[in-house]
Amino acid sequence: MPSTFQPPLPLRSETPSAWAEAALADPEALLSDHAHCEKKAALSALTLARSFGNASRASGLLVRLAEEEMDHFRRVLDALQGFGWTLRPDRGNVYAQSLHRLAAKGLLDRLLIAALIEARSCERLWLLERAATGHPVLGSAPWLAFLLELERCEAGHALSYRGLAEERFGAEARTRLDWWLDREAEVVQGLPWRSTVH
């Protein structure tokens, strides 16, 4: 396991490692929230695919990305069941909702928000993976390996979304991402720590 984290995007607010201890206080709630996040990531990717036209390369990439999120969703559900837990109701993702409230540039912002959510998820999964080592339930080798797999996959998704934004919008995407990196840092710093990924 690497000792330092390299986020796929240059996030401007580093999550303290103590966050992971707080998030692990209620692992059933944490996994439930993560399951809902994976499901919403799949739905979001499919919705974005429609914006690119069904036959486009971008659409194909987004459909494959949605398949990966569905695979994550199913496996987090399997893990919940394996631990003897139940999927709790979706309490909503205040982090994602806060970002979407700031959006003003249609598809460009939707792609960049998706990239930022993936990058932040990646950072948080890395912290969870480190904190879960030695945890009585979540410290098992298969679970830690799954967290690592998720972290790497979400990093790839962050780069895919940023790449799609740059392909479609060019220099405007880079300028807008710079603006979004500050907004994302403000949003994430303003949220209380709970047993959720964000």
Name the site residues for Fe ion (rule: CB under 5 A).
Answer: 38, 41, 69, 72, 118, 154, 157
Return the H-helix or E-strand segment holding 98.
helix 94-101
CB of 69 to Fe ion, least distance (A): 5
Which residues, 6+ apart, have CB-to-CB distance to 131 below 8 Å?
Answer: 17, 20, 21, 23, 24
For Fe ion, give the closer residue by CB, 16 or 93. Answer: 93
CB of 54 to Fe ion, least distance (A): 22
Is residue 115 a contact partner of residue 158, using CB atoms and an 8 Å limit? yes
Name the token pair of 134: 């030695």
Helices (H) and strands (E) counted in the chain, each on its own, are: 7, 0
For Fe ion, give the closer residue by CB, 108 or 155. Answer: 155
For Fe ion, give the closer residue by CB, 120 or 157. Answer: 157
Task: Report the SS3 class of residue 172.
Answer: helix
CB of 39 to Fe ion, least distance (A): 10
For Fe ion, give the closer residue by CB, 72 or 120. Answer: 72
CB of 73 to Fe ion, least distance (A): 8
